[in-house]
Amino acid sequence: MKNSPIHVIAKWKVKPGQLDTVLSLLPGAVKASIAEEGNLFYKIHQDITDPNTLVLFEGYKDEAALNYHRNSDHFQTIVVGKVVPLLEAREVNLTTPLLF
C-alpha cells in the first residue's frame, strides 16, 4: 500500500441544523486539498434522500501523499477543528484500486 494509490471514501452525517455551516467550510478545504502535489482528486457528494449525509471521495498518489494531506494546516484547521465537531458520525475507509 505504501506506493499504491489510496482512495478515501468518507461518510459524514451532519448534525441537524449544521449543514449550511459545514457546506460553507468545505470550499476552502477542497481548494487547498486539490492543490496538494500528491492529490489525484477530491470530490464531495450529497445524499439525495438525506441531505445531511455527505460522501467524500478522495484520491492520493500514495501513502506519503495521504499523510501529507492529513497533517496539512487546512485539514487540521478546517476539517478536524471546525467540521468534525458539527458531525453526528464520521466513517472513513481507506481503499486501493484493484487492477484486473
Over 70: is that where the pLDDT of 1 sits?
Answer: no
**Do 51 and 68 contact (CB within 8 A), yes or no?**
no
| Chain segment 4-37, per-residue pLDDT in tens | 999 999 999 999 999 999 999 999 999 999 999 9
Find where cell 470530490 sits. 43
Tell me the mean pLDDT in the region 59-82: 97
**Do 89 and 55 contact (CB within 8 A), yes or no?**
no
| Predicted local confidence at residue 24, as pLDDT | 98
Fold classification of 6-95 (topology level): Alpha-Beta Plaits (3.30.70)
**Spatial distance between the Cα atoms of 89 and 100, rounded to a whole number of angstroms:** 34
| Chain segment 87-98, per-residue pLDDT in tens | 999 999 999 988
- 42: DSSP letter: E
